[in-house]
């Protein structure tokens, strides 16, 4: 065999080995509904970095922002069907309605209380039904404390919310909270919200500061009320079928990376709240800071709805969280 032919064969063999290694990578597509500047996207980029550290070369991670793969509901359905590997979603209650209990108004005292709840047996029990439905909760990211914006009037008291048509997510906790405040809740996907506000389909909406800023809602909303009425996590969710198809080592790497990425994002957003508020004020939003207690009192009927819907399970959950 000539030296040239031997070299060619050696090169071909090396190429085949490299190609085989590349082909052996496990595809991991992650979809979410916000921009590539949003903290959810940054958290998934951090997840990809952590996963590469824990399982070098094992995964081919691709992140699809801005609802490229569908709405939150649609991406969850893709996970359950095994057509998507991971997503970040705020409407996981579609698959486990009791998760809405995590978003009852004024349930959490502060961020330390939130972290304690996320690590609690009570929350683990809420998510225990998901694997049978094709999904698994693998981590939390912070959406934040939700605040109200609108184009009709400044909000100082619960009475100022009465009669407003407010967009909410497809989430019963937000819907019942705004019913208790006398508003007309209008569920719709976040991806449709900007246009609905611009066209006057709804008077206002409620979201954490990062979503108001990242979604440029300040361009189509005048008033911002810092009600902080609901603390809102979003969920890092994986396809259960996909997870079970991984090796034990790969699965452990995914679960650890998701938890660590969520912890990173939690600290990142906590540090950004004041910066975001300043940016929204500079963009022209008129900010009010309502007294919290009247809103606490006015939203108590939302608890009664869930106590009636879920019975003792709901009361037991709320008591367990408040006791932490």
**Domain-embedded: residue 1:** no
Intra-chain end-to-end CA distance of the chain, in Å: 76
Q: How far apart are CA 124 and CA 108, in angstroms?
A: 17
Q: Looking at the domain assignment, is residue 8 inside a domain?
A: no
Residue 12 is assigned to a structural domain of this protein: no
Q: Specify if 85 maps to a domain.
A: yes
Q: What single DSSP character describes residue 55?
A: S
Domain that holds residue 212: 21-322
Determine whether 188 is exposed, middle or buried from the number of CB atoms within 10 Å of its CB (0-12, 13-18, 19+).
Answer: middle
Residue 157, in any domain of the structure: yes
Tell me, yes or no, whether 257 lies in a domain: yes
Only one residue has tokens 């969710």, namely 237
Q: 15 in a domain, yes or no?
A: no
Instruction: Give the separation between CA 190 and CA 208, rounded to whole angstroms.
Output: 12
105: domain CATH number is: 3.40.190.170
Rounded Cα gap, residues 76 and 323, in angstroms? 32
The verdict on residue 181 lying in a domain is yes
SS3 141: strand
For the chain, the domain total comes to 1
Q: What is the pLDDT along the chain (324 residues), one digit of tens a residue?
A: 444 444 444 444 444 444 444 457 999 999 999 999 999 999 999 999 999 999 999 999 999 999 999 999 999 999 999 999 999 998 899 999 999 999 999 999 999 999 999 999 999 999 999 999 999 999 999 989 999 999 999 999 999 999 999 999 988 999 999 999 999 999 999 989 999 999 999 999 999 999 999 999 999 999 999 999 999 899 999 999 999 999 999 999 999 999 999 999 999 998 898 999 999 999 999 999 999 999 999 999 999 999 999 999 999 999 999 999
């Amino acid at each position: 065999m000539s030296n040239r032919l031997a070299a060619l064969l050696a090169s071909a063999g090396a190429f085949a080995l490299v190609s085989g290694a590349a082909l052996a990578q496990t595809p991991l597509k992650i979809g979410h509904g916000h921009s590539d500047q949003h903290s959810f996207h940054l958290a998934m980029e951090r997840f990809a970095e952590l996963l590469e550290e824990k399982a070098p070369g094992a995964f081919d991670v691709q992140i699809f922002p801005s609802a490229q793969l569908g709405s939150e509901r649609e991406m969850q359905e893709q996970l359950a069907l095994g057509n998507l590997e991971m997503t970040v979603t705020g409407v996981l209650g579609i698959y486990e309605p009791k998760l809405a209990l995590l978003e009852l108004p004024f349930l959490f005292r502060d961020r330390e209380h939130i972290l304690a709840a996320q690590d609690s047996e009570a929350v683990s029990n809420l998510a225990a039904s998901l694997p049978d439905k094709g999904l698994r909760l693998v981590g939390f990211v912070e959406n934040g404390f939700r605040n109200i914006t609108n184009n009709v009037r400044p909000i100082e008291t619960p009475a100022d919310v009465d009669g407003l048509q407010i967009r909410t997510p497809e989430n019963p906790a937000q819907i019942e909270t705004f019913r208790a405040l006398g508003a007309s809740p209008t569920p719709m996907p976040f991806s449709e919200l900007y246009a609905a506000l611009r066209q006057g389909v709804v008077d206002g909406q409620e979201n954490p500061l990062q979503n108001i800023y990242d979604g440029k809602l300040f361009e189509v909303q005048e008033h911002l009320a810092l009600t902080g009425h609901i603390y809102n996590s979003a969920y890092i969710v994986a396809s259960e079928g996909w997870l079970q198809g991984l090796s034990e080592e790969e699965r452990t790497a995914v679960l650890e990376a998701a938890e660590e990425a969520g912890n990173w994002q939690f600290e990142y957003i906590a540090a950004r709240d004041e910066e975001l508020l300043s940016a929204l004020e500079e963009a022209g939003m008129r900010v009010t800071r309502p007294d919290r207690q009247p809103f606490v009192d006015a939203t108590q009927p939302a608890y009664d709805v869930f106590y009636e819907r879920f019975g003792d399970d709901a009361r037991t959950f709320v008591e367990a969280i408040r006791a932490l």
